[in-house]
Chain A
Amino acid sequence: MTVELLTANHASATAATLAGRANRNARGFGGGLYPITPQSESIEFLCKQDFDKGELVRVESEHSAMAVCMGMSLAGVRTFTASSANGLAYMIENVYAAAFYRLPIVMMAVNRTLGPPWNIWLDHGDTLMLRDTGWIQFYCEDNQEVFDSIVLAYRLGEDERLLLPVLVCQGAFVLSHTMMQTDIPSQDDVDAFLPDLRLPHQVTDRAIAVGSLDRPRETEVHRKQHAEAMNRTWAVYTEVQDAFEERFGRRPADPVVPYRMEDAEIALLSMGTTAATVRRAVDRAREQGVKVGALRIRMFRPFPEAILRQHLAPCTRVGVIDRDISLGLGGVLWSETRGTAAPSAVVQSYMAGLGGGDVRPEHVLSLLADLRSRDTAGEPAFVETGS
């Protein structure tokens, strides 16, 4: 184990490199790579690494990047790619296809605002666009979490009970270009943690057709199997957390990370780096005697509904802070979580930091004041933070 000063882009590529090399005694490692700001340094870093058994393909588009991963994964290769914002939008057809073929591809996404007009700053709207694609989704708060999530994503997605692709999200510039101390395990430890990939439906010389025509009853069965695999993620994730902790000496965070929720009457929900700011605001409000806590949703798919229901049961007011907007509705996280609070609770949507606005503790404190003043929830509220 060494401690390195890494950006999240470099941490993600380091994790993919170690995980890729760990499959050298099986079918090897590879992927299709295509640059986009602010992801570029991740694939540049990867292209400088040496692999005993690796094939990195510099393709002409994100759509082909995922297609190359699909071809390799179908041949039993461990695969990685990375993208962001419009790149993910361009890729999305094959994002679905990869999941429908139940391929344990791992992708790092840098959360960035969709355009045009062009904006390269942090916004969660891009990966939330992928929420229904059948991928497991993690939203990370720091660079260590990005590294750890990518390493564990292979063990999770490749588990025969799941066979699911995994998306690991991190914030544009706030993490992608910010260096943090990151513990990097040895190759031996990663080798021991990650078994060789064995894809049950690997394409070999047998005359099988991967992907023909489905009639409604076949699609119903395929979707049901896929949904059941998503539901098995909870149990498998706990096992992976245990194994990771045993091997690396630190425990990856739970699907929902609570902060000062023990006696909280008010809960503030958020994802990604916003959660660190929310904790700061919670500390300040607690100093004033406000019984407020915070919940960070780390795993967004499968959606941790039961866990949220448990945490939110005692709360009378819930503020959901989204760095995204479903136009014509409100915050995406809000729309998904509002049914998990107690029926009598006030659940209010706040959209803060759209397009990369700098969400500061004072913004959170002001929306907290607004939430405390409400007897009923109102229209989703825009919190202006931009400058």
Chain B
Amino acid sequence: MTGATQESPQTGTGPLLRPGNTNCGGCGMSIALNVLGRALEGRSIQMVVPACCAIVTVGSYPASAYGVPLVSSTFASAAAVGTGLARAARMNGDPTRVVCWAGDGGTYDIGMAAVSAAAERNEDLLYVCYDNEIYGNTGGQRSSATPPGARTTTTPHGKLQEKKDILAIMAAHRIPYVASLSLAHLDDATRKMQKALDLEGFRFLHLLTPCPTGWKSEPAEGIELVRQAVSSGLYPVYEVESDGRVVINVEPDMSDDTLARYFAAQGRFRKGQVVLERVRASIDASWKTLRLRASNGEDDDRDA
């Protein structure tokens, strides 16, 4: 009757991401949504999506491309609107779990304060960041998740700065669960998605989601790109338990050839400032820290 709402078939009767949506071909975020959808297996969720590609996915009123209840929040507010829904559910004994689904802009940048605060309060939220390393639906501008060397519409000569280590930032909040998920390792990704769905408190998941439009890459090669990022060591796949214990889920082979193929396959890195030796040094440094954290030994310092 009022507002932008739309009645649609009952939850659980179809896919989470319905056919006919208008997402770009090869959209990594769409694949990530399917990972979530398959992981549900009858679990009841409410989604909160801030202003980002995933809200454009909903489509024009009164249609919805999502097979679950969804609330569209302002850009910075996914974690705070999610807090309200989750508290209401707890207070009323509703069986639903609340899932915030936000991009890197809404997480690393404009939403950082709200995400950090919700984590500090240990709200009962599953927060998923799909990271396409760019402001996607505004035309491909740099974010603090954009990697060095990547050309964007606001860094035409390539970004100079490193991307934030969002997993370390979130782990420093000492929340029940932090994990990175690879779209090329679906069994591991599904297991972690389900684990995160069932835990209590604030859980943070991160997915590297190729954006062919912004990355200037072949739509069909997205999953292969993620596989290259994982095996070259560029994208570590690991989880951090509530006690700070780090578990590395996929061992990289640290191949320089794979790393070179990853960069060569993406137009955003052409004519940029990518120096492979420098990237390799940065990868080695972050793995050294990660190994220390995973060693479970006396040197284990989760905030290192």
Contacts and interface: CB of A to CB of B under 8 A. Distances in A.
Contact of A212 (B2, B55, B82, B121): B55
A94 B73 CA distance: 9
A63 B118 CA distance: 13
Contact of A32 (B3, B60, B84, B92): B84
Contacts, number: 201
Interface stretch (A67-75, A124-132, A143-151, A259-267): A67-75
B84 A74 contact: yes
B3 A222 contact: yes
A70 B78 CA distance: 11
Given A71-B48, A71-B80, A211-B4, A205 B96 contact: yes
Contacts of A55: 87-88, 90-91
B113 A73 contact: no
B213 to A, nearest CB: 18
A201 B2 contact: yes
A23 to B, nearest CB: 11
B13 to A, nearest CB: 8
Interface in A54-99: 54-55, 57-61, 63-65, 67-77, 93-94, 97
B8 A208 contact: yes
A71 B64 contact: no
A163 B2 contact: yes
A379 interface: no
A102 B117 CA distance: 26
Interface string B76-110: 11011111111111111010100000000000000
Nearest to A200: B1
Interface in B27-48: 44, 46, 48
A94 B4 contact: no
Contact of A60 (B60, B64, B91, B113): B113
Interface stretch (A213-221, A308-316, A364-372): A213-221
B84 A71 contact: yes
A60 B114 contact: yes
Nearest to A31: B84
Interface of B: 1-11, 44, 46, 48, 55-56, 58-64, 66-74, 76-77, 79-92, 94, 96, 113-114, 116-117, 121
The 7 tightest CB contacts between A and B, nearest first, are: A71-B84, A211-B72, A75-B88, A67-B80, A60-B117, A209-B64, A64-B80
